[in-house]
């Protein structure tokens, strides 16, 4: 957002009791555990709870792809191989795709632990970050009414209607974000008039790399679990 003269804006925090501005030193975090009731949580509390920093992906198991409900999926990423691991990457992707299995793993990014499902699509590994079960809302949570009995004749009518409108695949035109395309065209047109372009300087910060060799961390995770399994077997014998 910009001001009326094109100036950049800043978010302001203030006390609703006296209207006084507050800076970071005068603000604390509050966890709302009940309506209008909060527990103060300090930076030290969060540091103690934060997971250990690690580049490892903890691959715990493989499960059938269709056993994971889509409602758990949050955001997708393509996983690329390191320059020297294309062959291993292809082997893993082909094996997972042929078996119809998906990997379930956890990893830490920016101080937060994420649950992720790893799929193989036409030789490319794809990771889907997932919501944890306590982050999902049920129909009961949002107040949906109880399911009512529908006459068989009405069901047949709608079944026929669906068949008439069914296609083998989604038409590409219907997958297009028309509003975004219109917005991009508008921006492109407005850029021709330089008086409408506002340039805002950004503070330079240290460059950070979040690139991880997915093959290497998966191999390390699987190797560690294999060693652990062998140790358990030798103790049992």
pLDDT 10s digits, 96-154: 999 999 999 888 777 778 888 999 988 899 989 999 888 888 777 787 788 889 999 99
With respect to residue 128, please indicate whether it lies within any of the assigned structural domains: yes
With respect to residue 16, please indicate whether it lies within any of the assigned structural domains: no
User: Please, are residues 217 and 57 in contact by the beta-carbon 8 Å criterion?
Assistant: yes
Query: Looking at the whole model, is its pTM more than 0.95?
Result: no
Number of domains the chain is built from: 1
What CATH number does residue 125 fall under? 2.40.290.10
The parent domain of residue 93 ranges over 52-134
Percent of the chain at pLDDT > 90 equals: 16
Q: What are the phi and psi torsion angles at 121 (to 5°)?
A: -125, 110
- In three-state form (DSSP H/G/I as H, E/B as E, the rest C), the secondary structure along 176-199 is CCHHHHHHHHHHHHHHCCHHHCCC
């Amino acid at each position: 957002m910009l001001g009326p003269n094109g100036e950049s804006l800043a978010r302001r925090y203030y006390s609703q009791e006296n209207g006084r501005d507050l800076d970071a030193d005068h603000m604390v975090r509050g966890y709302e555990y009940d309506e209008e009731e909060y527990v103060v949580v300090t930076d030290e509390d969060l540091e103690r709870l934060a997971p250990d920093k690690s580049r490892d992906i903890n691959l715990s198991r493989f499960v059938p792809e269709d056993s994971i409900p889509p409602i758990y999926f949050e955001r997708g990423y393509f996983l690329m191989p390191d320059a020297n691991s294309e062959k291993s990457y292809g082997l893993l992707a082909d094996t997972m795709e042929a078996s119809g299995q998906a990997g379930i793993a956890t990893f830490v990014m920016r101080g937060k632990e994420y649950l992720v499902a790893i799929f193989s699509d036409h030789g490319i590994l794809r990771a889907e970050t997932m919501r944890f079960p306590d982050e999902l809302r049920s129909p009961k949570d949002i107040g949906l009414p109880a399911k009512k009995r529908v006459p068989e004749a009405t069901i047949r009518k709608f079944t026929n209607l669906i068949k008439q409108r069914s296609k083998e695949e989604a038409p590409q035109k219907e997958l297009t974000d028309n509003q975004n395309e219109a917005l991009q065209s508008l921006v492109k047109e407005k850029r021709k008039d330089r008086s409408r372009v506002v340039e805002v300087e950004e503070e330079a910060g240290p460059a950070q790399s979040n690139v991880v060799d997915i093959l290497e961390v998966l191999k390390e995770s699987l190797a560690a679990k294999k060693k652990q399994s062998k140790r358990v077997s030798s103790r049992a014998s």
